[in-house]
Amino acid sequence: MYSKKLQEEWRSTLQNNNSKQSFIFDGIIDSKIWSTNDLKLMFILKEAYTREGNADWDIARLIALNGGRLINKKGQATHNRLAEWAYGIEQSLKGEDTKRFESEKNNWDLGKQSMMKSAYVNVKKNNGKTRSVERQLKKIVNRDKDFIAAQIKLIGPKIILCAGTFDIIRSANLFDGAEKYDKSNICYKWNNKLLIKFCHPARANKESTYKLLTEEIKNIIR
């Protein structure tokens, strides 16, 4: 589920002997928890913010070390929303009625538990910006599509939530054959997986997006 070979090949391709380019890998947050749970949820985001000259790091590992929610002032809203969405998806798949505030009680305890069952992936693996440029990301995804496809296959998720990345990834033909559910505006079937086209969490309205996501999930399992 975690391939050092894939990581090294990807790093080598991107850095190309440029010491200023940090490499930020990602993936399954906790392999032991992942292997024993049925959620198998993978978030695909855009890029991780870092500065030139920073050492390489693994964002999934840092999320795990923080118990399921990365403590990062620049991206705190992002990680709060992801914890909430992970919890909402998990409860909705069980057919449970759920409210967003449940996930954030006791310092996001329930949200973090759901995140620990998940995977976190960025399409861009080095020197991210605080604001992404879609045109540039499309070029990156097209260039790295074989690596991205390999990482998705290696992780083996049952659910993929594209957080502002659905159209970017689809532009490289990585979601060929995806078919929208009749009862949903955001849910697709793809390679025996549930694929969700959703917004980026950083600027999401926390109440309305949580309600939309959980209701759409419950609609397709009815």
Number of domains composing the chain? 1
10 belongs to a structural domain = no
- What is this structure's pTM? 0.93
11 belongs to a structural domain = no
Structural domain boundaries enclosing 171: 24-48+56-221
35 belongs to a structural domain = yes
Q: How many whole angstroms separate alpha carbon 158 and alpha carbon 190?
A: 10
What single-letter amino acid sits at 50?
Answer: T
13 belongs to a structural domain = no
In terms of Cα–Cα distance, which of 151, 112, 122 is closest to 49?
122
CATH number at residue 80: 3.40.470
Q: How many whole angstroms separate alpha carbon 200 and alpha carbon 185?
A: 16
The tens-digit pLDDT sequence of the chain (222 residues) is 457 899 999 988 887 655 567 888 999 999 999 999 999 999 999 988 765 556 788 999 999 999 998 765 555 788 899 999 999 999 999 999 999 999 989 988 999 999 999 999 999 988 765 566 888 999 999 999 999 999 999 999 999 999 999 999 999 999 999 999 998 999 999 999 999 999 999 878 899 999 999 999 999 987
Largest separation between any pair of C-alpha atoms in the chain? 52
1 belongs to a structural domain = no
In terms of Cα–Cα distance, which of 203, 209, 198 is closest to 76?
203
